[in-house]
Amino acid sequence: MTKEYWLDRWIRDEIGFHQHMFNPYLLQYWQTLQLMPGSQVFVPLCGKTHDMIWLRNQGHSVLGVELSTLAIKGFFEENGLPANHDSGEKFDCYTADLIQILHGDFFNLDKRDLEKISAVYDRASLVALPPETRQRYANHMLNILPPAAKILLISFDYPQSEMQGPPFAVSPDEVTALYQNHAEIHLLAQVDVLDENPRFQQRGLSRLQESIFQLTLHRLNESRA
């Protein structure tokens, strides 16, 4: 899954993953993270999700990272937020009203970029990646997050043989395998959602579940390579 693939999806406006409403699991389960007021939240592969507005409205500052300038500019324009734009060596930075989006590659982030992060909201990042990239993604996330950071993670699970991703099938067992050595993992809910998603029925799925996890990284800043 190349960078060009995702950039082309935005150019062709093939963004079925984009939700026009706030994610209901975010609204229902975010409070389980018990964050302090003013905490900074990281949204990887953020696209132009409106969930960043909801997080800002809860009193958080928000940091996103996104490959597509179309997505970034679309987010600020659609939400009526004139953004300041600064060019940097690794990332261009777009900022408005407590929301900052870095234009560039998630894998170019380092600890300094996320040093103030208290939590991560991952709705459409892990599931956007093919199997061979998910381990690299998780390892990098663990390496750059501060100790004790929390993650609200939403995953899809379905018979992978029935549909070509993205979104890819990521089972609860895989989430456990990716993160268990470095985080406490709590499965908050599993929901059967096939009946609510006719587009996935049309693609041939016989089963579709969404799983919502709360992860809390260990406090010890051990090596996570």
For residue 158, how many other CB atoms are within 10 A of its CB? Answer: 24
Q: So what's the pLDDT on residue 4?
A: 81
Dihedral sign computed on CA atoms, order 75, 195, 158, 218? positive
β-pairing verdict for 183-192 and 209-217: antiparallel
Domain limits of the chain? 17-217
The CA distance from 9 to 183, in Å, is: 33
How close are the terminal C-alpha atoms of the chain, in Å? Answer: 22
Query: Residue 159 carries which side chain, given as an amino acid letter?
Result: P
Dihedral sign computed on CA atoms, order 12, 16, 20, 26? negative
Q: So what's the pLDDT on residue 17?
A: 64
- Give the H or E element holding residue 188: strand 183-192
The CA distance from 38 to 85, in Å, is: 23
Intervals of the chain under pLDDT 70: 1, 15-18, 220-225
Query: Residue 10 carries which side chain, given as an amino acid letter?
Result: W
The CA distance from 206 to 10, in Å, is: 28
What residues have CB less than 8 Å from 123, skipping those under 6 apart? Answer: 23, 25, 26, 49, 51, 154
Listing DSSP states for 38-59 in one string gives T-EEEETT-TT-THHHHHHHTT
Domain 17-217: top CATH class: alpha beta
Sheet holding 61-66, edge to edge: 84-86, 92-96, 99-103, 61-66, 40-43, 117-122, 150-157, 209-217, 183-192
For residue 171, the 8-state DSSP code is -
For residue 207, how many other CB atoms are within 10 A of its CB? Answer: 13
Q: So what's the pLDDT on residue 111?
A: 97
The CA distance from 225 to 222, in Å, is: 9
For residue 76, how many other CB atoms are within 10 A of its CB? Answer: 20
CA angle in degrees (0–180, nearest 5) for 62-43-69: 90
Q: So what's the pLDDT on residue 222?
A: 47
Query: Residue 101 carries which side chain, given as an amino acid letter?
Result: I
